Structures are given as structure tokens and as C-alpha cells.
Structure 1
Amino acid sequence: MKKENMGGFEQEDMEEIPHWKSKTGSFLSFIKETVFIVIAAFLISLVIRFFVIEAFTIQQHSMDPTLFEGERVLVSKLVYRFSPVEYGDIIILKSPMRSADYVKRVIATEGETIEIKDGDLFIDGKQVDEPYVKSVDVSNYGPVKIPYDKVFVAGDNRPNSLDSRIFGPISEDDIIGKVFFIYWPMDKIGFVN
């Protein structure tokens, strides 16, 4: 049997859905959609955190004055899948000596010979200007040729840095990612050079 609806059009006679069933169905649908969205957002955030970008809090003074203790940074975990580690990169690495991660600057890469004479850095026999170094440590190191798939790291605050001068070159596999952005404190928000 056909029935005329409010718009004047005919429609097939349908069993009427009780009012309470209609609301319950839409409420359950809303709950299902909300749970799906929350789970999807959680999974996406996990993928981003483990494979793309992660936030870190600086917990040492070894990178003063470039990065200070308590500052918060974003680290790209993908960058070294597409480009090599380069001199000057500031990285987060798995600590070879403690449970906490370290933040350091790459000062030599595979195949280069590093030497530190009276606090001055030499790469392949040429002195390197390091304007970011807070205070010079007049110690000596090397010469040492950096092996394949390794990098040499040091803090910008050399006298107060536990780095490759102590534990040697690190494997590129121990690099968590490259620091690229400071997001706290507010007055330092910006990209890391």
C-alpha cells in the first residue's frame, strides 16, 4: 500500500520504527564512530611518534648555549632515511653509557679524520671554525679516522660534555633523529640551525 508523505510524494508502506529505537540506534552509531575516531587518532599518533617526529626535553648542559636544559625540541626521525648525517647536525642519540638519551652535535662523519689540538677541531688536517662552542676545552684527541657507518659527536659546552671523546664514534643506528625545532620556552620558538 502506498502512503503520501509530508512532501506530497508517495512512498511504500513501511513498518514504523518506534521513536526510542531510532534514538538508541543513532546513539549507538555515535558511540561506535567516536570509539573508532579515538582509536584511529591514537594509532596515528603512535605511528607519528615512533617513525616520524618525537618531542624531547633537553636534560643536560652539554649543548649550552645552543640548547639549554629544560628546553623542549622536536626531532625528525625520518630525515636520515633520505639524506646522510652531516657535519653540524644536532642529533638525539641512544646513550652508550646511561639510560637517558643524549643530545649532541655531529662534528665528523664516516671516512673523515678528526683531531683536536689544544681545543681546536681539525677535520682531515684542516682547522674547523666552531662559533657555537661555548668554552674551549684545551684537551687533545686523535687523530682518529671515523669508521664506516659511524659519526663523531660532541657537545657545544665541551668541558661539560660526555661525548665521542670519551665513548668513541657512535653507530648511525644509535641516532634517534635530528633536532629541528624548539617549541619551549615561548621566547625561543623556532627552527634549530
Structure 2
Amino acid sequence: MTMTNQSPYTINTDSYDINTGKNKHSCFTNILDTMHAQMQAMLSHHNKIIVVRVDLHCEKYTPCNIELSRFMCKVRKRLYSHYKCARFGYLWVREQERSKSQHYHVMLIIDANKIQQPSALLGWLQERWSVRGHPRPYVPENCFYMVHRGDDEAFGEAFYRCSYLAKERGKGYGRVGANNYSGSRVRLKSFN
């Protein structure tokens, strides 16, 4: 996988600052590209989005990501049924450093006409992950960003914050064939 430690990072004709610690650390470009594509795709469907960050730690090591995949299905059902979302974007990365088990950094990209403040959703996420036998999810300070379509500054701030997910450190500790990351596949809305 290709990496960069150059900030700003250019995608198409736009440049975004990324979290490289003043060009000391590298980020995977495919993760950055997926993040950008999903944020842009969601903004093509909705005039504003909310980008939410949460970290999920596992009770014990698993060589694959089945537990997270099942959890993301629960999140999808919750967003569709409770909040009446028509779609949502996401990106998660799997990491393991000194701990015996992996953890996941997750970003959710949600229609901000449906959710403008994520505290209730975060409470639900924390409860549902903990009920599965895992430690309570970690919610970082300033864990969400509101981005309106055309607001390049807010887009750049959210992108910079979430570029942490693309960092090189901690990746590659799953079973051969286990993904280090995955993202939604929301497509850009065509304006014919």
C-alpha cells in the first residue's frame, strides 16, 4: 500500500492537511482516498453531514474482523430504523500495538438533517459495544464535525482530524487476508 508523509495531501485538485506530525509519520493514501470519497459522496446526497469519531477496543484478540462487521450491521439498522437515515458512510481501521487485542478507530458520516448532535447515538454505541463483552468505547474530545456542502474549511478540519485513522503505525496485525480497514461504498449522486 502506498504511503505519504507530505501534508498537505492532494486529491484531484484539492489539498488537505493531514495528521503526519509535521511530516514525521506516514499515512496510507488508500485510506485517505476512501475517507475523502465517502465524505464527498455523502455531501452529494445531503446538504450537511456530521462526521463522528469513536474508538472500539476488543476484550480479546481475534484474527479477523467479524465482530466489528456484525456491530456495523447493528449501527446501520439503528440509523435506518431509529433515525430514518437513507444512507450513511463510514470508515474503520484495525490497529494493534502494545495491547494483546486489536482496537478499531471508526468514523461515521451521517446525514446531519437526521442527527445534529451525536450524544444519544454515542450513548447507544457505547452500550451496544459493551453489551457484547468489550470495554466501553472511547469517545475522543471534540468527537464530531458538522460539515455543510461547499464549506471547504469545515471539510478540511474533519478530514484532518480523521486522517489519524490512516496512520501507518499499528496496522497489519490481523490474520493474513484480514482487512486493516474498510469503508462504505456510498456513490456520488449524479446530477443529470
| TM-score, with structure 1 as normaliser | 0.24
Larger Rg: 1
**Would you tell me which structure has more helix in proportion to its own residues?**
2
**Relative CO higher for 1 or 2, CA cutoff 8 Å, sep ≥ 6?**
2
